[in-house]
Chain A
């Protein structure tokens, strides 16, 4: 009897320890990034592009990467939505009675979701070579769009499934066509669409491997789709490798900015999800 209890106590201790490690790792990471990045956070960091040449220039900030990230993540999310909303609607509202097929398609999107961004990057690079594009903002947007499509499709799919069938029946029984009914459903899930946008944007803004081959890198803010663009993760990756302290510091500051942006996005989407589900039930 004694031994049994001791064993349980021992494992319970291990469990608490494991929980502390898993939960604590978040604070450890964010803490490290804040500790290293905060000293380099200046107003110039947010408002100036880097000066004095790539990799060695000590002056300026990372406005190029901030704007570049917004362009890439924003462009990819918009393109992704244009493709994903019809797909999610089709899966849910136009495949009535073909449950096996629609579930198989859902699995394909799950699998697509699992494909690593480096493969999307390599494939995006292939597309660019095929069409004779140089590494540019457009190339980055295309690669990241491929990356976010499965995320958007599956998130929207889950959200549409929370809409009660009766609401669809109500619209249909007024004589709506399926498309008109779909518009009603889209109205009903507006908060869900915003959640999907946030999740996609958060994933898009943080990814490196997909933009590494495709977006190029530049100290300037891109003025057209065909110019190379920097993104925050790329700026972190490249600037950290520099031997010059100020450049490294820009890298740490970029890491801090990216972390804050991503945390805000994640928290917002979590809150929205909570509100959405509370509203539903």
Chain B
């Protein structure tokens, strides 16, 4: 048919070869679009596949015990099939709690300073370093913790409070984690504070409030959802952080009673025992249960903070 020419309504020649080309192009577009849809569905369903896979692997240990028992028991005897996650959960909570207590005030103050007080030059100089900090791999934070924080606690902090500490403690884990979540919190708070409408500040200043009073009574209150979202996101990040914490927090499976006690967070439990898990029955299932636990908590926290943030974004845009 190639070369056979007819006339269309508009009087222009239509070449069947060109029509064929056109068909091929459209077909190509269609096939590629289906392929892309497939990739999109596959990668999005990763969330569900991970959840289901971990749950499926946790079934043996769940059949052997109950959710309640697994979460509240402190007895960890893999050879007898006893898995109590309570100390690990508490280890995670201690480390995360310390990290947030240290990081949140520092980050709020920093963000307030660079957005409200400092010359814009300060922000332009500081933010690249914050970004660089966020790029540093967890294991490097771990090395830094071992080399710097551990001796600091052992020789300079702990002696003031307790008789003896090796330095490997939930405090060390908390400090290292706090530094790791600085960039996350600072960058979110920066965005939140920068989108505060100027009119709001002007209104307060016009009533005779000082800058600090305006910040305290108006800006912080307005920014509260953003601060909460940043905190929730930081918590979920801290929850799952493995290697850096593992390297510094002592990994002793007892419930910590002071910041100088060692702790054993959930991710560290998974990471430390992967080698043995195939040889002891139910052990692999118990570790997958730990992963499932992390997965569920972090999923929930992430969703909550994303919803708060996207609401805030819409409110600011409106």
Q: Scoring A residues 8 to 44 as 1 if CB is less than 8 Å from chain B, else 0, what string do you get?
A: 1001101111110111011111101100100000000
Are B237 and A207 in touch, CB under 8 angstroms? no
| B197 proximal to A (CB < 8 A) | no
- How many A-B contacts at CB < 8 Å in the complex? 254
Are A207 and B57 in touch, CB under 8 angstroms? no
A184-B301 Cα distance, complex, nearest whole Å: 38
| A263 proximal to B (CB < 8 A) | yes
A19-B126 Cα distance, complex, nearest whole Å: 9
Are A237 and B212 in touch, CB under 8 angstroms? no
**Contact partners of B17 in chain A: CB under 8 A:** none
Which residues of A line the B interface, CB within 8 A? 4-5, 7-8, 11-12, 14-19, 21-23, 25-30, 32-33, 36, 83-84, 86-87, 89-91, 94, 103, 105, 107-112, 114-123, 125-127, 146, 149-150, 153, 177-180, 202, 205-209, 212-213, 233, 236-237, 240, 251-252, 255, 258-259, 262-263, 265-267, 270
CB distance from A258 to the nearest CB of B (A): 6
What are 17 A-B pairs with beta-carbon distances under 8 A?
A15-B117, A18-B105, A19-B110, A27-B129, A29-B140, A86-B36, A87-B36, A111-B303, A115-B299, A116-B240, A116-B241, A126-B54, A179-B32, A206-B137, A208-B242, A236-B143, A262-B137
Are B147 and A36 in touch, CB under 8 angstroms? yes
- Output the nearest chain A residue to B237 by Cβ-Cβ distance: A114
CB distance from A227 to the nearest CB of B (A): 19
Known interface pairs A15-B109, A115-B298. Does A91 touch B40 (Cβ–Cβ under 8 Å)?
A: yes
The CB with the most chain B CB atoms within 10 A, among A117, A177, A179, A209, is that of A209
Known interface pairs A90-B37, A116-B298, A179-B28. Does A110 touch B306 (Cβ–Cβ under 8 Å)?
A: yes
Q: A18, A30, A202, A213: which contacts B274 (Cβ < 8 A)? A: A213
Q: Scoring B residues 230 to 270 as 1 if CB is less than 8 Å from chain A, else 0, what string do you get?
A: 00010011011111000100000000000000000001001
| B83 proximal to A (CB < 8 A) | no
Q: Scoring B residues 150 to 187 as 1 if CB is less than 8 Å from chain A, else 0, what string do you get?
A: 00000000000000000000000000000100100010
Are A262 and B136 in touch, CB under 8 angstroms? yes
A33-B109 Cα distance, complex, nearest whole Å: 28
Known interface pairs A116-B294, A206-B136. Does A122 touch B37 (Cβ–Cβ under 8 Å)?
A: no
Q: A123, A202, A212: which contacts B50 (Cβ < 8 A)? A: A123
CB distance from B152 to the nearest CB of A (A): 11
**Contact partners of B303 in chain A: CB under 8 A:** 107, 111
**Contact partners of A33 in chain B: CB under 8 A:** 140, 143-144
| B302 proximal to A (CB < 8 A) | yes
- Output the nearest chain A residue to B125 by Cβ-Cβ distance: A23
Are A114 and B33 in touch, CB under 8 angstroms? no
Known interface pairs A205-B137, A265-B135. Does A107 touch B306 (Cβ–Cβ under 8 Å)?
A: yes
